[in-house]
Amino acid sequence: MKADVTTKTVKEIRIDIEKCTGCRACEMACSAFHAKPRYSSINPARSRIRVVTDEINDEYVPVRAGNFTRSECDGRHHYRLNGKQYSECSFCRASCPSRDFFIEPDSGLPLKCDMCEDAPPLAEPLCVTVCQPGCLTYEERQLETAIDELGERQAMERGLASLLNQHGIAAVIDNLKRLSRG
């Protein structure tokens, strides 16, 4: 059976670290855009983009907030760049209990970049618009993905059958209840 094909728009922000001056205009714009009411305040702690800075070596790395993770990594890389040591956490996009980045300071809720979803939509994400040195650039590309509904259903049925064989129906129901409680 031939799978249907759907087209998805993938939004990308490209980062040219060489051009970043550490001006932090991106942080200010992002926090203002997400303030309630919109543009009513500026607080970089509420920004979904943070600039990792090393002023002595004149190095700046913007990082956009990704998904929330409940568990911290228990093994981490360390990077040495131009003589300075950075932890993997420095460049990680996760909102994670390990650090204050990407945690809303008042509520403690995780922050995640939404590519500035708005109605009507912005022509481009705000951090890109305000980045005068051109460190951030915006691109969209179309991605074709196959929707194989039958294949997905069969895979799910096989997975469920295997779980039932291994653990029995009572344990599977119990686990599903626990997962749905989050």
Task: Supply φ then ψ for residue 14, to 5 degrees.
Answer: -90, 140
How many chain residues interact with ligand SF4 (CB under 6 A)?
Answer: 39
Q: Considering beta carbons, is residue 129 or 163 the nearer one to ligand SF4?
A: 129
Q: Considering beta carbons, is residue 22 or 42 the nearer one to ligand SF4?
A: 22
Pick the stretch among 1-9, 90-98, 152-160, 163-171 that binds ligand SF4 (CB under 6 A).
90-98
Q: How far apart are CA 94 and CA 76, in angstroms?
A: 14
Q: How many residues does the chain have?
A: 182
Q: How far apart are CA 111 and CA 97, in angstroms?
A: 12
Site string for ligand SF4, 55-84 (x = CB under 6 A): -----x-x-x----x--xx--x--------
Task: Supply φ then ψ for residue 43, to 5 degrees.
Answer: -150, 100
Site string for ligand SF4, 124-163 (x = CB under 6 A): -xxx--xx-x-xx---------------------------
**Is residue 28 within 8 Å of residue 42, measured between CB atoms?**
yes
Pick the stretch among 108-116, 141-149, 159-167, 168-176 that binds ligand SF4 (CB under 6 A).
108-116
Which tokens sit at 57?
């070596």
Q: Which helix (H) or strand (E) holds 102?
A: none
Q: Which position among 42, 59, 98, 104 is part of the footprint of ligand SF4 (CB under 6 A)?
A: 98
Q: Considering beta carbons, is residue 64 or 110 the nearer one to ligand SF4?
A: 64
Q: How far apart are CA 24 and CA 127, in angstroms?
A: 9
- Catalogue the E-assigned strands of 16-135: 49-54, 59-64, 78-81, 84-87
Residues that bind ligand SF4 (CB under 6 A): 20-26, 29-30, 33, 48-49, 51, 60, 62, 64, 69, 72-73, 76, 88-89, 92, 94, 96, 98-99, 113-116, 125-127, 130-131, 133, 135-136
